[in-house]
A and B are shown apart, each in its own frame.
Chain A
Amino acid sequence: MTEKNEQTALLLLGCPQVPVQTSMVLYLAHGLSQRGIRPVIAGTTAARRLMEVADPGRHYLGEMNDLDEMIDEITEKKRDFDLCFVFIHNDSGIAYAGTMAYISKARVYALIFGEHAEELAGEIEFPCEIVAAKATHNPMPLKRRLEEVMQWAAVSKR
């Protein structure tokens, strides 16, 4: 949400332990930008460093923030977003997505991947769109699901 009425999307990154996360974040940031939705990334230091090294020319990455500082800004109502994509591969990811569903007015998308994607998806008991694919090293299953999601996001913009 911005003064220019530009749509914004928060991409929330937790632990970068699972390889597909970094490439999927870059792919999603690019796809959202192409659809006129400005991506803002918030994540742990390691997750952000992986992004910065992967995109040194900042072709896909825009604004990046510390995870805790972003939660501060949202809980203090200094800032909010239209969409929020939470990258999840463990219980902590579910906890962060649940927090976002509570503190933010954004439409929350839980992007669940990794070895235990289906079990984790079954743990979700809060309002959000669940996008789950058993993807660890091969990003294609999650990429296909993300393409569908970006269509929804673009449609919901109208």
Chain B
Amino acid sequence: MGGCLEAMKPEILLSQTTFKDAREYIKKNVREYHEVEPGYKIFDVHIIGVPPLYVGVDGERLIFPYTKPCHGTFVVKVPGGAEIARLRARQK
């Protein structure tokens, strides 16, 4: 896991899944979600996969897919900080 993300002690909502299942999980379970392009960076990790890729916002937290080359895709929840405003601003 990226050092920065790991230090944030993310809550793991979905473990060792596919990027498609991660996409469906966010779409079904997170009320506010934004489409991002492949390679979009949150903290020190890239969102990896085939469009559409979604990043969710739940209060002050971000929910997004994190893909590890050896272990598949995880859906993680972390404090969003300034990343939430950056995510919302790009939709306008």
Contacts and interface: CB of A to CB of B under 8 A. Distances in A.
Interface of A: 14-15, 17, 44, 67-68, 71-72, 74-75, 90-96, 98-99, 101-103, 125-126
Contacts of A93: 69
A75 B50 contact: no
B70 A102 contact: no
B86 interface: no
Given A14-B69, A71-B46, A91-B18, 12 more contacts: A15-B69, A67-B69, A68-B45, A68-B46, A71-B39, A75-B41, A91-B19, A92-B73, A94-B19, A95-B67, A95-B73, A99-B39
A98 B38 contact: yes
A17 B70 contact: yes
B50 A125 contact: yes
A14 B71 CA distance: 10
B85 to A, nearest CB: 20
A99 B18 contact: no
Contacts of A75: 39, 41, 46
Interface string B64-90: 000111111100000000000000000
A44 B67 CA distance: 13
B38 A99 contact: yes
Q: Which are the 4 A-B pairs with shortest beta-carbon distances?
A: A98-B50, A15-B70, A14-B69, A75-B39
Given A68-B2, A74-B39, A102-B39, A95 B50 contact: yes
A118 to B, nearest CB: 17
A102 to B, nearest CB: 4
Contacts of B41: 72, 75
Interface in B39-76: 39, 41, 44-46, 48-51, 67-73
B51 to A, nearest CB: 7
A136 B20 CA distance: 25
A44 B71 CA distance: 12
A95 B70 contact: no
Contacts of A102: 37-39, 50-51
A103 B73 contact: no
21 contacts: A15-B69, A44-B69, A68-B44, A90-B70, A91-B18, A92-B48, A92-B69, A92-B72, A95-B49, A95-B50, A96-B48, A96-B69, A98-B38, A98-B49, A99-B48, A99-B50, A102-B37, A102-B51, A103-B37, A125-B50, A126-B50
